[in-house]
């Protein structure tokens, strides 16, 4: 076995630990840069995949490698790299990226072990190979093997193997490839002979770039010394990407990235702010705190202003281009009409802006057939002309969002649809309105006189089982359980309704007790969860009779022969407005949770008594954070109006005035 030397890096442990933390794309980029700095014409990132998982990641290059006599100084120190003084690669072919020797630690962000296999021509013009190994557990210690001769026709270069990976990294992910294309956009377009491939997919930023433009920025002050020149380069991509502003060295090497903080609907772009001042902050180790540097902040703001102007012009170009295209294809909804009044001119401009935003926001819009696009544009024209108030409200709300909120909305729309966002917000708003209306129905003395608890209140609750807990919002009708409940109540001599109205022979609805039977989704595949809820009228106070009654129902149902041998958990709820002293003592025992009336020894059967005040309070607590974020106000008037509209058929015969909310009883 070749003799090894131990190299100790002179640096603080926490500093090295910080260097080993990086995004996958960032870690790979550092290893790729090392090959490119070595004037490699080919850098390949490959994976070694086993039957069950990813075993290793390899980064191979065909550069000139690291001479053995330089390896010890390079791997045992941070800073002071030869690259810091030499701004060009060894043979003067390219600008250098790395200067501080930090890149080698990034490999440990992917896995526990990293090994460099270096093939190089030594001072005697002989091809030799040696290895350098480091383990995350002792990241400051590198093991260096002695060089051994290899065949003279061996290709020089470095192969970095990262093993004992922390996770099954997906190097084929579109997001990772796009981020690497962004990092190397300036470099690979400047040096087209350098080729980089990730799992066989070649980085080709030039083919993905739609528009590229540069802007001169005001110089960055440097005290009494000459100011630092600054430049902004904008790259618009043909593919989806997360917008970023890269803070780069004067040569265009990305050293840090921040959110661009501007609005540019319909554009996927990267911005590159180039300045030697960025390199100066990077050398000081303060670039991660870029937002605290006033001079860099000013340069960033200047860059943002150029971006806004650029995309304002690009939006105008794109609008004219799309509108002209629609006119040529005869899908534009104003075929031969020219606006003749100031109102029509404004209306046409509004339509063009809205239509272009719709078209650029929907990737499939332009590839639809001509007939569909013509129809959709015509419908959009009608919306602009006939529903200006709604359209203006939507546009105004979006335009008045803060810059940060607009960015959050844009990011959210990349993960879901606007329709889904609206549906989720509506669900929370509806629940808040429902709770407020339910509370009024249960506790308002005037409303209690006219609402039919069993015929109306119970039917409303049957559609809103989430009131009893979020796990119950996912319940479904359990037909087998329903039939068992029917049989038990039939034996008890009681007529009940379970999830549906009971009809008399004359087809009229019977006024009966109501019990909800639900099957609750269980995390245990081999078990069933059953929820049975019996609702008492608000005027009924639970006492000894009611507690004995619910126990008899629960024991009878749970012990039914049809459930014998089937693993199941039973939860019974008795819900009412109030309890008498007898029942209150039963559900307030020191060794039981509040509200628990009885449970079996194996805890598979539980009977609870809940008051509406408790249930509504729990609901409000669960929804409080959403109510705050939605800034939703569920007052008495709007809540009762919501119930009146949503459950018009159930509440038929009860008139609630919108103005005064007076309740009118139906005719006797």
Domain count, the chain: 4
- Which of these, 379, 365, 40, lies nearest to 187 by C-alpha position? 40
Specify whether 484 is located in the same domain as 402.
no
Please check whether residues 105 and 51 belong to one and the same domain: yes
Query: Cα–Cα distance between 285 and 272 in angstroms, integer?
Result: 20
Residue 37 and residue 135 in one domain? yes
Is residue 170 domain-shared with residue 210, that is, in the same domain? no
- Count the alpha carbons within 13 Å of 247 in the hemisphere toward its beta carbon: 23
Helices 342-361/370-386 angle, 10° precision: 130
Q: Which two tokens stand for residue 136?
A: 């995350």
Task: Measure the CA–CA gap between 35 and 39, rounded to whole angstroms.
Answer: 7
* Alpha-carbon Rg for the chain in angstroms: 36
What residues have CB less than 8 Å from 373, skipping those under 6 apart? Answer: 326, 329, 331, 365, 366
* Residues of the chain under the 50 pLDDT cut: 1, 79-86, 99, 474, 476-479, 501-514, 656-668
CA 76 to CA 248: how far, in whole Å?
27
What confidence score (pLDDT) does residue 291 get? Answer: 77
Among 382, 415, 448, the domain-final residue is 415
- List phi, psi (to 5°) of 159: -120, 115
Q: Tokens for 254? A: 């990305």
Question: From CA 249, how far away is CA 566, in angstroms rounded?
Answer: 69
Between 24-37 and 174-183, two packed helices, what is the crossing angle to 10 degrees? 40
Based on the fold, state whether residues 571 and 524 are members of the same structural domain: yes
Angle formed at CA 664 by CA 660 and CA 667, multiple of 5 degrees? 165
Cα 92 from Cα 383, distance rounded (Å) = 63
Domain contains 658 = no
Q: Look at residue 428 and tell me if it is in a domain.
A: no
In terms of Cα–Cα distance, which of 431, 430, 438 is closest to 459? 438
* Of 355, 361, 360, the residue nearest 377 (C-alpha): 355
Domain boundary among 182, 202, 222: 202
> Cα separation of 614 and 473, whole Å?
18
The pLDDT tens digits for 378-435 are 877 877 666 555 555 555 565 566 666 666 666 766 676 666 676 777 777 788 888 8
Q: Do 369 and 333 belong to one domain?
A: yes
CA neighbor of 91 nearest in space, from 38, 30, 41: 38
Q: Which of 92, 101, 59, 45 is nearest to 191 (CA)?
A: 92
441: number of Cβ within 10 Å:
22
Do the domain assignments include residue 663? no
C-alpha span between 240 and 206 (Å, rounded): 15
Residues 448 and 476 occupy one common structural domain: yes
Task: For the chain, give the number of residues.
Answer: 668
Asked if 597 and 584 touch (Cβ cutoff 8 Å), the reply is no
Q: Are 502 and 495 in contact (CB under 8 A)?
A: yes
Q: Is there a single domain that holds both residue 94 and residue 233? A: no
113 within 8 A of 135, measured Cβ to Cβ? yes
For position 137, which CATH number holds? 3.30.565.10
* 405 part of a folded domain: yes
Q: Give the closest residue to 78 by CA, choosing from 128, 7, 133.
A: 7
Surface-to-core class of residue 188, CB atoms within 10 Å of its CB (0-12 exposed, 13-18 middle, 19+ buried): buried
Mark whether 410 and 498 lie in a shared domain: no
Residues facing 233 on adjacent strands: 214, 272
Distance CA 6, CA 144 (A): 6
Same domain, 225 and 139: no
Residue 664 inside a domain? The answer is: no
CA distances, 479 to each of 421, 467, 498, 554, 626 (Å): 33, 22, 10, 18, 34
- Whether residue 369 sits in one domain with residue 265: no
Q: Please say which residue of 187, 202, 217 terminates a domain.
A: 202
- Per-residue model confidence (pLDDT) at position 219: 95
Asked if the structure places residue 242 within a domain, the reply is yes
HSE-CB at 163 with a 13 A cutoff on CA atoms is: 10
Same-domain status, 181 and 34: yes
Structural domain contains residue 318: no
Query: HSE (CB half, 13 Å, CA atoms) of 303?
Result: 31
Phi-psi region of 595 (alpha: psi -120 to 50; beta: other; left: phi over 0): left
- Rounded distance between C-alpha atoms, residue 256 and residue 246, angstroms: 6
In terms of residue numbers, what domain contains 485?
A: 435-623
Per-residue pLDDT, 503 = 41
Instruction: Give the pairing type, strands 195-198 and 42-49.
Output: parallel
The answer to whether 491 and 484 have CB atoms below 8 angstroms apart is: no
Does some domain include residue 648?
no
């Amino acid at each position: 076995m070749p003799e090894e030397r131990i190299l100790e890096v002179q640096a603080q442990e926490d500093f090295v630990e910080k260097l080993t933390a990086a995004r996958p794309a960032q870690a790979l980029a550092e290893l790729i840069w090392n090959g490119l700095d070595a004037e490699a014409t080919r850098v390949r990132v490959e994976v070694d995949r086993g039957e069950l998982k990813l075993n290793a990641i390899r980064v191979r290059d065909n550069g000139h490698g690291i001479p053995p006599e330089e390896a010890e100084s390079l791997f045992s120190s941070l800073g002071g790299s030869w690259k810091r003084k030499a701004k060009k690669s060894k043979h003067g072919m390219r600008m250098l990226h790395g200067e501080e020797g930090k890149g080698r630690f990034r490999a440990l962000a992917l896995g526990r072990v990293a090994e460099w296999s270096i093939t190089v021509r030594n001072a005697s013009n002989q091809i030799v190979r040696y290895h350098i190994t480091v383990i995350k557990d002792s990241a400051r210690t590198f093991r260096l093997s002695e060089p051994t001769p290899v065949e003279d026709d061996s290709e020089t270069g470095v192969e970095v193997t990262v093993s004992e990976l922390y996770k099954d990294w997906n190097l084929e992910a579109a997001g990772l490839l796009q981020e690497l294309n962004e990092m190397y956009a300036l470099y690979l377009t400047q040096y087209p002979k350098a080729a980089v491939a990730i799992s066989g997919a070649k980085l080709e930023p030039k083919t993905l770039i739609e528009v590229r433009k540069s802007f001169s920025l005001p110089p960055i002050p440097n005290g009494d010394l000459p100011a630092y020149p600054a430049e902004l380069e904008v790259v618009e991509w043909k593919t989806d990407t997360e917008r970023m502003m890269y803070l780069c060295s004067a040569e265009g090497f990305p050293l840090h990235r921040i959110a661009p903080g501007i609005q540019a609907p319909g554009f996927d772009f990267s911005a590159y702010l180039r300045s030697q001042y960025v390199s100066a902050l990077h050398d000081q180790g303060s670039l991660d705190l870029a937002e605290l540097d006033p001079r860099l902040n000013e340069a960033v703001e200047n860059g943002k202003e150029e971006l806004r102007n650029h995309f304002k012009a690009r939006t105008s170009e794109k609008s004219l281009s799309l509108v002209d295209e629609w006119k040529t294809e005869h899908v534009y909804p104003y075929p031969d009409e020219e606006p003749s009044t100031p109102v029509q001119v404004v209306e046409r401009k509004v339509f063009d802006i809205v239509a272009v935003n719709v078209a650029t926001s929907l990737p499939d819009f332009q590839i639809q057939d001509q007939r569909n696009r013509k129809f959709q544009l015509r419908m959009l024209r009608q919306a602009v002309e006939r529903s200006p108030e709604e359209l203006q409200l939507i546009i105004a709300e979006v335009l008045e969002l803060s810059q940060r909120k607009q960015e959050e909305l844009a990011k959210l729309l990349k993960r879901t649809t606007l329709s889904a966002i609206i549906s989720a917000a509506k669900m929370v708003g509806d629940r808040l309105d429902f709770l407020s209306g339910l509370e009024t129905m249960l506790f308002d003395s005037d409303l209690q006189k006219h609402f039919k608890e069993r015929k109306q209140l119970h039917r409303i609750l049957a559609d809103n089982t989430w009131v009893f807990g979020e796990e119950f919002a996912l319940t479904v009708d359990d037909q087998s359980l329903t039939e068992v409940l029917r049989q038990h109540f039939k034996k008890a001599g009681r007529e009940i309704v379970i999830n549906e109205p009971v009809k008399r022979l004359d087809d009229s609805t019977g006024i009966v007790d109501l019990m909800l039977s639900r099957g609750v989704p269980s995390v245990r595949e081999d078990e069933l969860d059953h929820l049975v809820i019996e609702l008492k009228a608000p005027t009924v106070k639970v006492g000894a009779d009611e507690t004995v009654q619910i126990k008899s129902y629960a024991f009878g149902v749970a012990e039914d022969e049809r459930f014998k041998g089937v693993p199941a958990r039973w939860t019974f709820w008795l819900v009412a407005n109030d309890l008498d002293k007898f029942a209150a003592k039963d559900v307030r025992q020191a060794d039981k949770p509040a509200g628990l009336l009885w449970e079996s020894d194996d805890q598979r059967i539980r009977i609870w008594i809940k008051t509406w005040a408790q249930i509504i309070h729990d609901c409000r607590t669960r929804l409080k954070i959403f109510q705050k974020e939605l800034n939703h106000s569920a007052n008495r008037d709007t809540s009762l109006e919501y119930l009146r509209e949503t459950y018009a058929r159930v509440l038929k015969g009860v008139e609630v005035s919108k103005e005064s909310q007076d309740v009118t009883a139906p005719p006797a």
